[in-house]
Amino acid sequence: MKPFGILAVLLFGLAAATTWAAQKPRARDLGVPFDGTPGPLNAITDVKGVEVGHTTLISGSGKLVVGKGPVRTGVTAVFPRGRDSLDPVFGGWFSLNGNGEMTGTTWLEESGVLDGPVMITNTHSVGVVRDAVIAWRIRKAPPDDEGYSWSLPIVAETADDGLNDMNGFHVKPEHVYHALDSAHGGAVEEGNVGGGTGMVCNEFKGGIGTSSRVLPEKLGGYTVGVLVQCNYGRRSQLRIAGVPVGREIPDKTVRDEDIGSIIIVVATDAPLIPTQLKRLARRAALGLGRDGSFAGDGSGDIFIAFSTANPGAIASKGVRDMKMLPNQQLNPVFLATVQATEEAIVNAMVAAETMKGANDLEVIALPHDRLREVLKKYNRLVE
């Protein structure tokens, strides 16, 4: 086995590349039909202020030796207000099937407040990522007026133990710092990057995917952005745009059981309070349902939503003024969440490339041409 540090370092830098998105087709480019109007980037970063950073670790090949590799993993950071802001946001979460971890949710549920980034990594690296986020915050700035830094970070995971030496604990604090420090607006890298590096989705190669929707001005003009780390599903269940794509492309399946997971992050600039953001998080389940999931027992299907509205409103002094969109006006925001989730998952599969990992396991990419053929067969191809 070759020393894997070299490739890892190479890939490290790549994560910040912003010219990336133009080079690869996305689901819409292939003619997959989706409803609603995406934002300019069709990404979570269409929500102003949101920044995403990845650290991608790929090294080694062949037989798995615990602690040695092969390594196919990483870390993804999503900052609601950008990496330089210490201003918290309102948030809410939902667990469709909780065979997974998202630290920090007990306080999120209690307070309705999300203080810091949302981190996503592999199952066995949640701890190192969590403590590293705290250490990064301590170094970054003094505690807030109340004497607090971030102590209860949000860290979620899905398992990459098929392709990756997950028991080797290859994510280190410096990888976490890199994901945090390299977070940026603009186009978001998709596929085999960040926390999504070694993930498998509907028995195709999965990973990170994103999408967005922009509402008409008369409905408020709000943006909803979604980012997924996609690792769920059995091939036979996969539907894309309602078409039974999974059954039509039964090649090279890799699982007996639905043992994967999906983390879904929903961002919006609509002025929503925590109760409403829990509602948004729950809608992600319906987008996932459209793509065919039945949320298997082994799945950690955990969703989080936040609003970038009301900057400065969640302070500790005095009574705060804030804005709220009434419940009766949430339908367009709900529908946008379902639609962007449906599309972000497909984007993850479209972007991910065939990967060979631990013990030479190969997980194939969703073949773009075959996808187009199937959509055409069912009269759903957009040409």
Report if residue 106 touches its own copies, rule: CB under 8 A. yes
Q: 46, 87, 258, 301: which one is catalytic?
A: 301
Residues 254-273 interacting with its own copies (rule: CB under 8 A)? 257-258, 271, 273
Both structure tokens of 105: 């949710």
Of residues 22 and 317, the one with the C-beta less far from its own copies:
317
The identity of residue 169, as a single letter, is F
Report if residue 253 touches its own copies, rule: CB under 8 A. no
CB of 241 to its own copies, least distance (A): 8
Contacts of 141-145 with CB under 8 Å at 24 or more apart are 141/86, 144/86, 144/316, 145/315, 145/316, 145/317
Of residues 197 and 341, the one with the C-beta less far from its own copies:
341
What is the CB neighbour count within 10 angstroms for residue 121?
A: 33
Q: Going by C-beta distance under 8 Å and a sequence separation of 6 or more, which residues neighbour residue 45?
A: 51, 52, 185, 186, 187, 188, 210, 225
Both structure tokens of 177: 């710092």
| 299 is annotated as an active-site residue | yes
CA gap 200, 216 in Å, rounded: 35
Q: Provide the mask over 117-156, with x wherever binding to its own copies is found by CB under 8 A and - wherever it is not.
A: ------xxxxxxxxxx-xx--x-------x--x-xx--x-
CA gap 226, 200 in Å, rounded: 19
CA gap 263, 158 in Å, rounded: 7
Q: Can you tell me which of 1, 66, 141, 382 binds its own copies, judged by CB under 8 A?
A: 66
Q: 149, 182, 299, 307: which one is catalytic?
A: 299
| 301 is annotated as an active-site residue | yes
Report if residue 175 touches its own copies, rule: CB under 8 A. no
DSSP states of 57-95: EEE--BS-BTTTB-EEEEEEEEETT-TT----EEEEEEE
| 161 is annotated as an active-site residue | no
> Which span (22-30, 75-83, 89-97, 353-361) binds its own copies, by CB under 8 A?
89-97
Q: Can you tell me which of 283, 308, 343, 349 binds its own copies, judged by CB under 8 A?
A: 283
The C-alpha angle with vertex 14 and arms to 9 and 18, in degrees rounded to 5, equals: 160
Report if residue 174 touches its own copies, rule: CB under 8 A. no
Report if residue 77 touches its own copies, rule: CB under 8 A. no
Q: Provide the mask over 36-55, with x wherever binding to its own copies is found by CB under 8 A and - wherever it is not.
A: --------------------
Report if residue 323 touches its own copies, rule: CB under 8 A. yes
Q: 261, 291, 293, 307: which one is catalytic?
A: 261
Report if residue 64 touches its own copies, rule: CB under 8 A. no
Report if residue 213 touches its own copies, rule: CB under 8 A. no
User: 230: which strand partners?
Assistant: 207, 262
Q: Can you tell me which of 7, 16, 86, 113 binds its own copies, judged by CB under 8 A?
A: 113
Residues 297-316 interacting with its own copies (rule: CB under 8 A)? 297-298, 300, 302, 313-316
Q: Which secondary structure element, helix H or strand E, spans residue 343, and what is its range?
A: helix 331-351
CB of 330 to its own copies, least distance (A): 5
Please state at what angle helix 126-140 crosses helix 173-181, rounded to 10 degrees.
Answer: 60
CB of 349 to its own copies, least distance (A): 17
Report if residue 65 touches its own copies, rule: CB under 8 A. no
Residues 231-250 interacting with its own copies (rule: CB under 8 A)? 237, 239, 241-244
CB of 193 to its own copies, least distance (A): 23
Q: From residue 141, give the alpha-carbon distance in Å to each of 135, 150, 154, 176, 345.
A: 11, 11, 19, 17, 36
Both structure tokens of 266: 């929903």
Catalytic residues: 261, 299, 301
